[in-house]
Structure 1
């Protein structure tokens, strides 16, 4: 196949600054230590990290025809990501977010929706985007045109063509549940945060949330639990709760996207479920240790070394 993974969905330019304890009054100035621009979003943050982890990655999304798009496309191109399926839309700004990172790693955001609201996947791209064993759809909830029936048809076609489908969303609510539930029969790995899983299902525990989604057609649920680690539940009855690594958090931006990228990479390397979760949490830990959704991620081998070190620290703890 032409690619290892096709990453479809939400592409954003993030503008991050840290540490931000408060917004200055009137027109005053506060000095901070670091400002970064990164390619982010529930697809953009994934594809950047899959590329850094050595996967031949296709980016499938939309940007505007502006200076923000120049950065997003240029940054992905420099990482060797195939951007030929990215759309540039005239008269619409690239989706972007300003994030003020607090000293404890929290990240209040100001988001401009932009081009991702207008993104669709035309059938002329099908032969290209399905030329990969894994298709990741990321960003349901902020993909106004693609959300709903268009996504259902896309994922059904992905399954018809033999792709493994991984899935993540954003801005979960009761309304988002209406978009997500019809997609579940075409999803092999459903990977929201536990907060998102709870908001859409009305359930509380990871086990009850997983039962809700498995009963509605998902093959496997992989929930990120923040400081509590990750929970894995498959239709074959496998259940795993893998603890988190003990790290010093700088910025939680993109940790879920990094987890997705790590898990997709683990699937590519045919890791067993527990090893896949350990690796995915290692990628997320690297990202949490710096500013932005790709901080700390260098390569597959470097990440394996860091995961081994984190596992050793977990055992000692």
Structure 2
């Protein structure tokens, strides 16, 4: 049973350009996550299209935006399948390169009975996405309302994309995942919205995040480092938003029975970007992203779990 707050969405689609990863997810369901050196019997296995870039592109497209994807796949069956699935969602894939030397990226995901997951990623062809590709496709960034990036492709490529978007006055959204250390100040100053989860916020800020209160402390630390608007996703504890000129606000999460949290954060980011691209307010965009993410965790898989615009209620009791 789902309980959601009032959520409105745009009547007119905006444009979102995604620069990021494309992976084939190898998903295993097991009773629990294994410990070090432990072998568990899994219950099922499936190949599911994923990658944070691909997931966020699919989420933005299904949730109302016109989406262009800039990425790289290998010359293999996984790559062909990933591009075909993106096209099914109406995503412009003309700027996805094919690398003949590297295989398409993969992610091994184990999901337990509580819906939690553990993920290991092999970048493969995602590592071949270069700043030169950004320069070649800068028009796609210039034409977007929102650019969204993550950290599953080379750092210099991400920064080149963000700088290009700033030159053209576009909204820049950075989802710093995965985070391995603090980001350079020029990165934080380049992004209009920084959207880490609680673990990433801890790594980036040096503040241990385990509650809305500690998320606010982390967001304030990130603001001191140069961030403008910080949105910390906290899973079932909701979202902490520290916007420019504000003291911070907590948005509780809709109540759902979660079966798989894979791609929930990507669904939130994609939904938020679709709403921002359509010129909705930040509050509307956050609540819309939350409503979409809440639906996604009631379904299995990455892109298979992402809802469509018509499924996200405008009002739920």
TM-score normalised to structure 1 length: 0.85
Could you tell me whether the CA contact under 8 Å between 1:286 and 1:295 is conserved in 2? no
Alpha-carbon spacing, 1:20–1:72, altered in 2? closer, same or farther (3 Å): farther
> Could you tell me how far 1:17 is from its partner in structure 2?
3.3
> Residue 138 of structure 2 aligns with which residue?
126
Query: Aligned pair 1:160/2:167, yes or no?
Result: yes
Q: 1:170 aligns with which of 165, 177, 181?
A: 177
What is the deviation of 1:131?
1.3
Partner of 1:274: 283
The 8 Å contact of residues 7 and 47 in structure 1, kept in 2 or not, is answered as yes
Match of 2:112 among 102, 105, 121: 102
Match of 1:90 among 72, 77, 100: 100
Select which of 202, 222, 230 maps to 1:221.
Answer: 230
Indicate the residue corresponding to 2:259 in structure 1: 250
**Counterparts of 1:186 and 1:21, CA distance in 2:** 40
The answer to whether the aligner puts 1:44 opposite 2:51 as a matched pair is: no
Identify the range of structure 1 (36-45 vs 163-172) with the bigger mean alpha-carbon deviation: 36-45
Whether 1:186 aligns to 2:190 is: yes
What secondary structure sits across from 1:109 in the alignment? strand
> Is 1:294 equivalent to 2:290 in the alignment?
no
**Are 2:12 and 1:8 equivalent residues in the alignment?**
no
Q: CA offsets, 1:150-191, max 9 Å, x none?
A: 4333312211101100111223222xx24x543111101100
Describe the shift of the 1:241–1:277 C-alpha distance in structure 2 as closer, same or farther (beyond 3 A).
same
Q: Aligned partners of 1:108, 1:298: CA distance in 2, in Å? A: 22
Output the CA distance in 2 between the equivalents of 1:151 and 1:48: 19
Partner of 1:80: 90
Equivalences for residues 130-145 of structure 1 within 5 A: 130-138=142-150, 140=151, 142-143=152-153
**Structure with greater contact order relative to length (CA < 8 Å, sep ≥ 6):** 2
Alpha-carbon RMSD = 2.3
Secondary structure at 2:27 match in 1: strand
Deviation readout 1:242-290 (Å, 9 max, x if unpaired)? 0111111111111111110111122133333333222111111111111
SS at match of 1:170: coil
Alignment of 1:61-76 (within 5 A): 61-76=71-86
Query: Equivalents in 2 of 1:29, 1:51: separation in Å?
Result: 37
Per the TM alignment, residue 22 of structure 1 is displaced from its structure 2 partner at its CA by: 7.5
1:117 corresponds to 2:124: no
Gaps of 5+ in 2: 1-12, 209-213
So what's the TM-score if we normalise by structure 2? 0.85
Aligned equivalents of 1:232 and 1:21: distance in 2?
32
* TM-superposed deviation, 1:31: 6.9
When residues 211 and 31 of structure 1 are mapped into structure 2, their CA distance, relative to the original with a 3 A threshold, is closer
Structure 1 gap ranges (5+): 313-317
Q: How many residue pairs were aligned?
A: 294
Q: Give the match for residue 6 of structure 2.
A: none
2:199 is aligned to 195
